[in-house]
Structure formats: C-alpha cells, structure tokens
Amino acid sequence: MSDESVVILALGSFFIVVGLILLWIGYREELGYYNSLAEKRDLREFVTHNPRRPEPGSLRTGGWIALAVGLVIIILGFVIS
C-alpha cells in the first residue's frame, strides 16, 4: 500500500468519525431539548413541535453527508490503490 492510499484512507476515516460525532450530537441535543420541554407546565410547544428547532436536524443532516463523503473517499482509495 502506497503512502498516497494511506492518506486517502485516513481522510475517509476522518470524515466517517466526524459524521458519527455530528449524528450523536444532533440526537443528544434534540433529546435534551424535548426532555426539558416535557418538564414545563405549558406543553404546547412539546406537543405541536412548533416552532421547530432546525439545529438538531441540521447536525444530523451534516453527519449523514460526512458519512457519505467518507465512504466515497474510502471506496475511491481502494479503487485507486
């Protein structure tokens, strides 16, 4: 295995790790937000999910994109080497 393919595989692995971290952070943020709402007296926002919070969904979307990019880089790394 050449040095170039090791660098490509490391870059792909980095994107996969970043994607998993973003997915985990998005899930934890959404869970914490809705759990804190469940403890309040006014549950309108909890029940209707209005207004929506885009942050957890954005983090998860970014995580899925990073995972896809990482997988593509690793596959290309194996094809090139």
Query: For the chain, what is the mean pLDDT?
Result: 82
Q: What is the pLDDT of residue 2?
A: 76
Domain residue limits, the chain: 3-80
Q: What is the pLDDT of residue 40?
A: 63
pLDDT in tens, 41-57: 666 666 666 666 667 78
> Cβ neighbours of residue 23 under 8 Å, at least 6 residues apart?
59, 60, 63, 64, 67
- % pLDDT > 70, the chain: 75
Q: Above 90 in pLDDT, residue 66?
A: yes
pTM for the whole structure:
0.72
